[in-house]
Amino acid sequence: MRTPGATLRTLLERYRLLRCFKHTTCSDEVGVRKPDPEIFALTLRAVGAEAGAAVHVGDDEILDVQGARAAGMRVIQVTSLSLQALGARRPDAAIPRLAALPEAIARLES
């Protein structure tokens, strides 16, 4: 039986996207799930990065935004809502689609 992590890597490879990632962390393989900050910490350790220098990109307010924040990371949320409409748990940036990601990262770095 294929695990979710193996299936994800197969799909990423099929669309030639796996090479874009230095490391992938899948909850079924490490036994920790978002929003637990430990899953973010595992990935940071695997790539040799500090939380304050990293940005997590996700679409879920609880799993992605709260989880990454608890791990000390900045967050970009993919959502149709404006940054102002996201309320108290707002990310550092909000983008409507992944094509806007490079510009959002550049704004965070400036």
- Confirm whether 27 is domain-assigned: no
- What are the percentages of helix, strand and coil residues in the chain, rounded to 5? 55, 10, 35
Give the chain's domain count. 1
Rounded Cα gap, residues 74 and 65, in angstroms: 9
Tens place of pLDDT for every residue, the chain, 110 residues?
A: 678 999 999 999 999 999 999 999 999 999 999 999 999 999 999 999 999 999 999 999 999 999 999 999 999 999 998 877 887 778 999 999 999 999 999 999 98
**94 occurs within a structural domain:** yes
Read off the DSSP letter of residue 16: T
Q: What is the pLDDT of residues 5-27, one digit of tens each?
A: 999 999 999 999 999 999 999 99
Supply the pLDDT for residue 23: 95
Please check whether residue 88 lies inside any domain of the structure. Answer: yes
CA 7/CA 55 separation, integer angstroms: 24
Q: Which residues span the domain enclosing 59?
A: 51-109
Single-letter amino acid code for the residue at 15: Y
What is the structure's pLDDT at 70? 97
The pLDDT, as a whole number, for residue 104 is 97
pTM above 0.75, yes or no: yes
Closest CA to 17 of 103, 107, 81, 98: 98
CA distance 84 to 12: 33
